[in-house]
A and B are shown apart, each in its own frame.
Chain A
């Protein structure tokens, strides 16, 4: 069963557009949503959640159309945004009391558990929280109403390495029963190297690839060689960097001839992202 099915999203702004964004997340898995700043991650997530008016496309959550069953489906969705600010002068307690009224399946025990785990003090005001603590607080809210689909925008970006590690542990614990699915956007790709099952990569408003993580990485090779060799292979490369020792570039595995004497290695997610971003600057 698909937890999330995004079909052909279009959204046009004067200087940016989402073009034909489609991807699917199977229930019980973690999908990392990657792309550089401004690639369209948050716009896509807001479109999924019906937080902005899209120009075209459809979103299905657990097989049901989001536009038609929004109120119902949102009971099953937990979301958190890295940068959303609550009323800063309210206490956490006040905000929680308001939030939980919207959810039929609010679970006070689970909520109390997360407060403890995240070391959050309900009597503090939002203004007194660090940015990392704010993220943790919005996660605690997102996780306490029995959500089956978590949609998290940059949940790890304000966190220190220890909290990030703890959060990734938590994600894996959450999906162990195969019921909960998680879509989270990030530009810290090392978070995904281990725990993500699927990767969706967005670049300049378009999905470059959405695939199982290994297949995603294996579709590319990082090649390096001398400047003379660059001349032969330049056309095939997605992007490359040249220095006085030679060049390094990203190539699709299908375009790469393994018998050539270029050195080839598996790229990391980060390297794939970097070279794609470079590709645009080549044509400016």
Chain B
């Protein structure tokens, strides 16, 4: 499991961990049933605070990507066929909703946004 934390980033560290792990899960690199390290162990290894990891794990659980078995740990959730795609799209949509609000605050039209997006996408 590969997680890279940047102190320079504006993003809170728990967000960085959450995003990288959810990407690993949605890409299938962490398979269903994979047991995540215990929170305190992960904090020690990533050299971040316990609460930071706790928050990241909670976010993953809220997104339905992992589930907690009391006394045993956190596991990557089982996905029905197509569910991964569905979850991925849902997460992307959540992000797009936020982004769209930002673009709208500048008064951009959809075509303008798509035009600009094309520029950065290649």
Asked if A and B are interacting partners, one says: yes
Known A176-B40, A214-B12: A29·B47 in contact at CB below 8 Å = no
CA separation between A212 and B7, bound complex, in Å? 18
CA separation between A278 and B41, bound complex, in Å? 40
- Asked if A194 is at the interface (CB within 8 A of a chain B CB), the reply is yes
Docked-complex contact B7 and A172, CB < 8 angstroms: no
Docked-complex contact B51 and A197, CB < 8 angstroms: yes
Which residues from B are CB-within-8-Å of A197?
49-52
User: Which of B10, B48, B49 has the most chain A CB atoms closer than 10 A to its own CB?
Assistant: B49
Q: What's the nearest-Cβ distance from chain B to residue A162, in Å?
A: 15
Interface residues of A (CB under 8 A from B): 28-30, 168-169, 172-173, 175-178, 193-198, 212-214, 218, 259, 265-266
- Asked if B95 is at the interface (CB within 8 A of a chain A CB), the reply is no
Docked-complex contact A29 and B51, CB < 8 angstroms: yes
CA separation between A193 and B41, bound complex, in Å? 18
Interface residues of B (CB under 8 A from A): 7, 10, 12-14, 40-41, 43-44, 47-52, 55, 105
Name 18 A/B residue pairs within 8 A (Cβ), A-sorted.
A28-B40, A30-B50, A168-B47, A169-B47, A172-B43, A172-B44, A176-B44, A177-B40, A194-B13, A194-B48, A194-B49, A196-B49, A197-B50, A197-B52, A198-B51, A213-B49, A213-B51, A259-B105
Q: What's the nearest-Cβ distance from chain B to residue A181, in Å?
A: 11
Docked-complex contact B51 and A212, CB < 8 angstroms: yes
Which residues from A are CB-within-8-Å of B50?
28-30, 175, 197
Which residues from A are CB-within-8-Å of B51?
29, 197-198, 212-214
Of the candidates A173, A196, A266, the one whose C-beta lies within 8 Å of that of B44 is: A173
Which residues from A are CB-within-8-Å of B105?
259
Q: What's the nearest-Cβ distance from chain A to residue B68, in Å?
A: 16
CA separation between A259 and B105, bound complex, in Å? 8
CA separation between A11 and B61, bound complex, in Å? 46
CA separation between A198 and B50, bound complex, in Å? 10
CA separation between A155 and B78, bound complex, in Å? 46
Which residues from B are CB-within-8-Å of A30?
49-50
Of the candidates A173, A177, A195, A266, the one whose C-beta lies within 8 Å of that of B49 is: A195
User: Which of A28, A176, A177 has the most chain B CB atoms closer than 10 A to its own CB?
Assistant: A176
Q: What's the nearest-Cβ distance from chain B to residue A2, in Å?
A: 16
Known A172-B44, A176-B40: A265·B55 in contact at CB below 8 Å = no
Which residues from B are CB-within-8-Å of A213?
49, 51-52
Which residues from B are CB-within-8-Å of A265?
10
Docked-complex contact B40 and A195, CB < 8 angstroms: no
Q: What's the nearest-Cβ distance from chain B to residue A193, in Å?
A: 7
Of the candidates A169, A194, A266, the one whose C-beta lies within 8 Å of that of B10 is: A266
